[in-house]
Amino acid sequence: MRIKCPVCGERPLEEYAYRGDAKVQRPRTHAPDQANAWHDYVYLRDNPKGRQKEHWRHSGGCGAWLVVDRDTYTHEIFSVRLTKAARRRAK
Amino acid sequence: MSAQAYRLERGGLVERSKPLHFTFDQLQYDGYAGDTLASALLANGVRLVGRSFKYHRPRGIFTAGNYEPNALVELRNGARREPNTQATMAELFDGLEATSQNRWPNLSLDLLSVNSKLSPLLSAGFYYKTFMWPRSFWTKVYEPFIRRAAGLGSAAGANDPDRYEKAYAHCDVLVVGSGPAGLMAAEAASGAGARVILCEEHPRIGGALLTERIEIDGRPGQDWALDARSRLQASGVRIMPRTAVVGWYDGNTFAAMERVADHLAEPPAHLPRQRLWRIAAKQVVIATGAQERPLVFPDNDRPGVMLASAARTYVNQYAVRPGRRAVIFGNNQSMETTAHDLARAGVDIAAIIDPKDVVSSDISHVVRGQGVAVVRGGRSISGVKPSGRGAKTIGCDLICVAGGWNPSVHLISQRGMKPVWDNEIQSFVPPVTSGPGFICVGASRGLYSTESCLEDGYQAGLAAAREAGFKDVETATRTFTASGPEQGRVEPLWRPESGAKGKCFVDMQNDVTDKDVSLAAREGYVSVEHLKRYTTLGMATDQGKTANVPGLGLLAGDLGKEIGEVGTTTFRPPYAPVSLGVIAGHSRGPTWRPVRRTAFHGWAEEQGAKFIEAGLWMRWHYFPRAGEGFAEATAREVNQVRNAAGFADVSTLGKIDIQGRDAVELINRVYTNSFTKLPIGRARYGLMLREDGIALDDGTVTRFDKDRFFITTTTGEAGHVMEHLEYCHQVLWPELDVQMVSASDAWAGLAIAGPKSRDVIAELVDGFDVSNEAFPFLSAAEITVCGGVPAKLFRISFSGELAYELCVPYGFGDAVVRTLAERGARHGLVPYGLEALGIMRIEKGHVAGSEITGWATAGDLGLGWMVPEKKPHNYIGRAMAAREGLIDPNREVLVGLKSLNPSEKVPAGSHLIADGALNSPEADHGHVTATTWSPTLNAYIALGVLKRGRERHGEILRAANPLQKYDVMVEVADPVFYDPENARVRD
Nearest chain B residue to A87 by CA distance is B730
pLDDT, residue B292, reads 96
The pLDDT of residue B130 is above 70:
no
Set of chain B residues whose Cβ sits within 8 Å of the Cβ of A41? 691
The pLDDT of residue B416 is above 70:
yes
Contacts of B615 (CB under 8 A, 6+ apart): B652, B715, B716
Burial of B803 (0-12, 13-18, 19+ CB in 10 A): buried
Distance between CA atoms of B107 and B762, rounded to whole angstroms?
A: 82
Nearest chain A residue to B730 by CA distance is A85
| CB burial string B833-870: b at 16+ within 10 A, e below | bbbbbbbbbbbbbbbbbbbbeeebbbbbbbbeebbeee
The pLDDT of residue B598 is above 80:
yes
Q: Return the H-helix or E-strand segment holding B639.
A: helix B630-643
pLDDT, residue B313, reads 98
CA B240-B246-B252 angle, 5° bins? 85
pLDDT, residue B1, reads 45
Proportion of chain A above pLDDT 70, given as a percent? 95
Contacts of B25 (CB under 8 A, 6+ apart): B98, B99, B100, B106, B107
How confident is the model over B351-357, as a mean pLDDT? 96
What dihedral do alpha carbons A12, A14, A15, A21 form, nearest 10°?
A: 100
The pLDDT of residue B716 is above 70:
yes
Set of chain B residues whose Cβ sits within 8 Å of the Cβ of A2? 250-253, 280
Q: DSSP state, B615?
A: T
The pLDDT of residue B804 is above 60:
yes
| CB burial string B207-221: b at 16+ within 10 A, e below | bbbbbbbbebeeeeb
Q: Which of B265, B268, B280, B259 is nearest to B578 (CA)?
A: B259
- Subunit contact B727:A2, Cβ cutoff 8 A: no
Set of chain A residues whose Cβ sits within 8 Å of the Cβ of B253? 1-2, 12
CA distance A50 to chain B (A): 15
- Using CB atoms, which residue from A29, A43, A55 is nearest to B874? A29
pLDDT, residue B155, reads 83
Interface of B with A (CB under 8 A): 249-253, 278, 280, 691-692, 722-723, 726-727, 729-736, 739, 874, 878-880, 882-883
If pLDDT is split at 50, 70 and 90, which confidence band does A87 have?
confident
C-beta contacts of B858-864 below 8 A and 24+ residues apart: B858/B672, B858/B687, B858/B689, B858/B695, B859/B886, B859/B887, B859/B891, B859/B893, B860/B695, B860/B891, B860/B892, B860/B893, B860/B894, B860/B945, B861/B695, B861/B893, B861/B894, B862/B893, B862/B894, B862/B950, B862/B975, B863/B687, B863/B695, B863/B698
Q: Return the H-helix or E-strand segment holding B410.
A: helix B410-414
Set of chain A residues whose Cβ sits within 8 Å of the Cβ of B732? 26
Q: Tell whether omega for the bond before B590 is within 30 degrees of 0, i.e. cis.
A: no
- Amino acid identity for residue B667 in this structure: I
Set of chain A residues whose Cβ sits within 8 Å of the Cβ of B280? 2, 10, 12
- Subunit contact B727:A57, Cβ cutoff 8 A: yes
- CB distance B79 to B156 below 8 Å: yes
pLDDT, residue B570, reads 85
Distance between CA atoms of A43 and A38, rounded to whole angstroms?
A: 8
- Which of B115-124, B317-326, B350-359 comes out lowest in average pLDDT? B115-124
- Using CB atoms, which residue from A35, A75, A85 is nearest to B729? A85
- Using CB atoms, which residue from B278, B735, B879 is nearest to A27? B879
> What is the ipTM metric for this complex?
0.97
- Subunit contact B726:A19, Cβ cutoff 8 A: no
Nearest chain B residue to A26 by CA distance is B732
- Subunit contact B691:A86, Cβ cutoff 8 A: no
Best mutation target, B249, B730, B741, B876, to test chain A (most A CBs within 10 A): B730
Indicate the angle between helix axes B548-559 and B528-535, nearest 10 degrees: 120
- Amino acid identity for residue B392 in this structure: K
The pLDDT of residue B488 is above 90:
no
The pLDDT of residue B138 is above 70:
no
Proportion of chain B above pLDDT 90, given as a percent? 85
The pLDDT of residue B633 is above 90:
yes
Set of chain A residues whose Cβ sits within 8 Å of the Cβ of B735? 84
Name the pairing type of β-strands B939-947 and B924-934: antiparallel
pLDDT, residue B13, reads 97
If pLDDT is split at 50, 70 and 90, which confidence band does B498 have?
confident
Distance between CA atoms of B795 and B806, rounded to whole angstroms?
A: 9
| pLDDT tens column, B246-262 | 999 999 999 999 999 99
| pLDDT tens column, B422-470 | 999 999 999 999 999 999 999 999 999 999 999 999 999 999 999 999 9
Q: Which of A61, A55, A4, A58 is nearest to B280 (CA)?
A: A4
| CB burial string B391-413: b at 16+ within 10 A, e below | beebebbbbbbbbbbbbbbbbbb
- Using CB atoms, which residue from A42, A84, A89 is nearest to B692? A42
If pLDDT is split at 50, 70 and 90, which confidence band does B103 have?
confident
CA distance A9 to chain B (A): 14
- Using CB atoms, which residue from A32, A35, A65 is nearest to B731? A65
| pLDDT tens column, B58-99 | 999 999 999 999 999 999 999 999 999 999 999 999 999 999
The CB density around residue A88, as the number of other CB atoms within 10 Å, is 13
Taken in order B838, B839, B841, B845, the sign of the CA dihedral is positive
CA distance A84 to chain B (A): 6
CA distance B412 to chain A (A): 14
pLDDT, residue B52, reads 87
Q: Which of B432, B462, B460 is nearest to B446 (CA)?
A: B432
pLDDT, residue B253, reads 96
- Subunit contact A2:B280, Cβ cutoff 8 A: yes
How confident is the model over B761-769, as a mean pLDDT? 97
Q: Which of B801, B893, B794 is nearest to B843 (CA)?
A: B801
pLDDT, residue B745, reads 94
Indicate the angle between helix axes B221-234 and B180-191, nearest 10 degrees: 30
- Subunit contact A75:B692, Cβ cutoff 8 A: no
- CB distance A14 to A61 below 8 Å: no
Taken in order B269, B271, B276, B277, the sign of the CA dihedral is positive
Q: What is chain B's mean pLDDT, rounded?
A: 93
Q: Kindly report the backbone phi and psi dihedral angles of residue B98, in degrees, each rounded to the nearest multiple of 5, phi listed first.
A: -125, 145
- Subunit contact A55:B731, Cβ cutoff 8 A: yes
- β-pair partners for B303: B305
B171 CB-side CA count, 13 A? 31
Q: Which of B588, B592, B582 is nearest to B262 (CA)?
A: B582
